[in-house]
Amino acid sequence: MRKRDLQDRAKIEAAVQKVAGEYLKDPNITSVGVGYKVVDGKPTDELALQFTVSTKFEPQTLVVESTRPIPETLTVNGIRFSTDIVERRFAPEPTAVDAPPKTDRKRRLDVLVPGVSIGQERISAGTLGCLVREDATGETRMLSNWHVFQGASGVLGDRIVQPGRFDDNRVGENGCGRLVRSFLGLAGDCAIASLEGRGAEETILELDVPVRRLGDPALGDRVVKSGRTTGVTYGVVTRLHTITRLSYGQGITEQIGGFEIGPDAERPAADGEISMGGDSGSAWMALDDGGEPTDMMLGLHFAGEAAGAVGEHALACYASSVFSKLEISPLPAPATTARIVVLQAVGGGYDANFLPGHELPVPVGNADITADYAPLQQGEGPVRHLTHFSLAMSASRRFCRWVAWNVDGNGLQQLSRSGIEFKRDPAYRAEYQVDDDLYSHNRLDRGHIARRADLLWGTREEAQRANTDSFLFTNIAPQLDDFNQSIKHGLWGQLEDAIYEGVSVDDLRLSVVGGPIFKRNDLEYRGVLVPRSYWKAIAYVEDETLKAKAYVLTQDDLEGKLESLGLEPFNLYQVAIRELGAMTGLDYGPLTTADTMAPSTPDAQVVTARPIGARSEIVR
C-alpha cells in the first residue's frame, strides 16, 4: 500500500469494510484499520492493514486456539496491503470510574459546558462533547455517544441528566434535555439531545475553544480532548479507517467505524491514561503547529482499551461522519458586539429594503403563474405577510409558489419548537392548502420552506410570533424519504450558514427566497403531486455590493440534462439565477444581475449546474 492510496478515502474505507466483514467474525480479532507497521514494539514508516487481536498466538498454535490466521499480504479492491498484527482490546466506556476531581466536571452546572459529566438518567456517566446545530430545525443540541445518551434499553425522548447518575443520583432534579436522535454502526456511536431548562456555553472546558469546523485526521496528527474522567489529554492519530467490533451488553454487538489515537510522547498524561470510563462522548480537537487546541473537531471519542489490555489507545468516530449521519452542523460564530444592529420591531412580512442600500422586491410570476395564485380570503392581492416572511400560494398545487424572508444574523435567538402544532393558514381557504391528511401514517416529513431558525430574530415577542407563524401549512412542503436520508438534505439546511462563513456579509443580513419547483412528472400520492425539486436564492451585501447565489436540490440530473424518473437520489447544485427563472417561471429582478454565477448561454436553454457535495463547496 502506498501513501497516496490514503487520499482516496472512499476506496480505502470500502476495502477495510470488506476485510472487517470477513475477519471480525473471529472473536479473537478486535479491529482492523490502516496504520504504520510495528516492528519490535516501534512503528515503522511502512503502511499496513493493521489487525488488533485480544491475544497474539504463535502461528503453530492458531489451529488449537481456533482463531483465523492472517496472511502477510492481502489484496482488496485492487489495493495490495501488507498486514500487521498487534495485541489490543477495546471496550466502550459508558461506565464512569472514580478519578481525581477535574475542575467542575462532575458537579451540577446551571450553565453547561462541553467536557463535563452527562448521561441518560439510567446510564452511569459519559461526557458532553460539544454543542451543535440541528440542520432541520436550527435548534442547539448536545452531542455525545449513543451509549451515553441512549444505551441498550433507551428510546427517543429519554431524559438526559447533568451530571450523570454515577456522579449525582438525584436524577429527578438534574434533567437538562431529551434524546432527539441517535445512531450506532459504521458511521459512528453518536447521539444528540435537546437542551432544556439550563444555559450552555460553547467553549470546551479547559481547552477554551468551541467547535466551529470539522476536519478529517491524518496519520501522525496531534489531537486533544477534554473528558469527564481524564480531563485534558493529548494524543497522536495512529490508525485511520478503523473498524472495531464492540460489545455493548444485552446482546448488542456492533462494528463501529472511526480512527485510533495513541499517547503523545511530547505531552504524556500524568497517569499514563488518555482514556478511562466516563470519557465517552468527548470531542477530539486538532492542534495547531504550536501545539495549541484549534476549533476544528476531528473525532468523537467512543472507546478505549479494555481493562488489563496492553498499551493505551483510544477510538473516535470521524466527526464528519457523525455530523452527516445526525444531520447536524457546528454552531456558527456569534456576531461581535461592534457589528450589532438594532432593528425596529416590525414583524410585518418580508422587507424589500432589508439589505442596506438595496431594494429587492418579491419575485414576479409569468402570466400562467399569476393566474394560478390562490386568493386571500380578505385583503388585496395574493401575497400573504407573516412575521419576517411573505409568500404566495399555488391554487392548483396547494403549496407555496415562493416564500421570501429576511435573516438578521446579529439578532437570532434560540427558541424551542415544543408544543407548536402545524396548522392551516387562516388567510386562505382550506381548499388551497395541503394539511396533515398528506403526512399522516407515512414517512413524509413536513418541511419548512422558510427555515424556522432564520426567522427567530427581533424582539422576543417578534421571534416567538415568527416561531409560531413558521408552522403554518402555507410554509410547508413534503419531503420524500430519499430527501431526508440524503447527505444533501444536511447541506440544504446549511446554505445560509455557509454564506455567513464564506463571505463578509455587511450587517450580517440576508434576504432569501425559496420554494418547490413544480413539474408534471412529480410523484402523485394521495391525490397530491409531491415536488421532486426545491430552489433557494440568497442575497447579501458584501463591501456595499449586492450579490446573490441560487441553489437547487433535485432528483433531476442537471449536468446530464435529464429529468428524473423518481428513483434517483437528491443532489445539490448551484445554478444561474436567470436559468432558475426558466425553471420556476419567476422573475427575480435585481437578483439576476447580482448573481455570482454566470449563465451558460444568453437564452438559458441549457442549465449550468455546479454540483455541491460538501459544505466547503457551497460558497465559491
Write down the domain spans for the chain. Answer: 3-87, 88-328, 350-368+403-413+433-617
pLDDT, tens only, 160-199: 999 999 999 888 889 999 999 999 999 999 999 998 877 8
Give the bridge partners for 479, in sequence order.
445
Cβ-contact 279, 228 below 8 angstroms: yes
Cell numbers standing for residue 550: 441560487
Assigned C-alpha cell, 125? 456517566
Residue 249's pLDDT band (cuts 50, 70, 90): confident
Residue for grid cell 454540483: 611
The helix (run of H) or strand (run of E) holding residue 148 is helix 146-149
Domain spanning 350-368+403-413+433-617 has what CATH number? 3.40.570
Secondary structure (DSSP) of 50-116: EEEESS---GGGHHHHT-----SEEEETTEEEEEEEEE--EEE--S----S--TTTTS--SEE-TTS
What average pLDDT does range 370-392 have in this prediction? Answer: 88
What are the DSSP calls for 514-542, one per residue? Answer: EEEEP-TTSEEETTEEE-SEEEEEEEEEE
pLDDT value of residue 163: 95
Query: Where does the pLDDT of residue 121 fall: very low under 50, low under 70, confident under 90, or very high at 90 and above?
Result: very high
The region of weakest confidence among 82-91, 264-273, 479-488 is 479-488
Which range is least confidently modeled, 30-39, 340-349, 573-582, 584-593? 340-349
Question: What one-character DSSP code corresponds to residue 429?
Answer: -
| Spatial separation of the C-alpha atoms in residues 132 and 218, rounded to whole Å | 24
Helices (H), 451-542: 452-455, 460-469, 481-485, 487-492, 495-502
Between CA 419 and CA 400 the distance in angstroms is 24
User: What pLDDT is stored for residue 347 in this prediction?
Assistant: 47
Q: What is the pLDDT of residue 593?
A: 93
Percent of the chain with pLDDT over 70: 87
Grid-cell match 454566470, residue found:
598
pLDDT of residue 154: 92
Strand order in the sheet with 328-330: 126-127, 117-120, 159-161, 175-185, 188-194, 140-144, 130-134, 328-330
* Distances from the Cα of 599 to the Cα of 93, 263, 539, angstroms: 54, 53, 17
Whether pLDDT at 116 is above 50: yes
Q: Which of 254, 260, 186, 264 is nearest to 222 (CA)?
A: 264
CA distances from 118 to 11, 395, 432 (A): 37, 50, 47
SS (H, E, C) 115-149: CCEEEECCCCCEECCEEEEECCCCCEEEEECHHHH
Would you say residue 478 has pLDDT above 70? yes
Q: What is the pTM of this model?
A: 0.55
Cα 214 to chain centroid distance, Å, stands at 10
Cα diameter, the chain? 89
Measure the CA–CA gap between 250 and 544, rounded to whole angstroms. Answer: 61
Under the banding of pLDDT at 50, 70 and 90, the label for residue 336 is very low
Q: Which three cell numbers stand for residue 285?
A: 480537537
Beta strands in 264-411 (DSSP E): 283-287, 293-305, 314-318, 328-330, 364-365, 384-386, 389-393, 400-408
Per the CATH hierarchy, to which homologous superfamily does domain 88-328 belong? Trypsin-like serine proteases (2.40.10.10)
pLDDT for res 483: 61
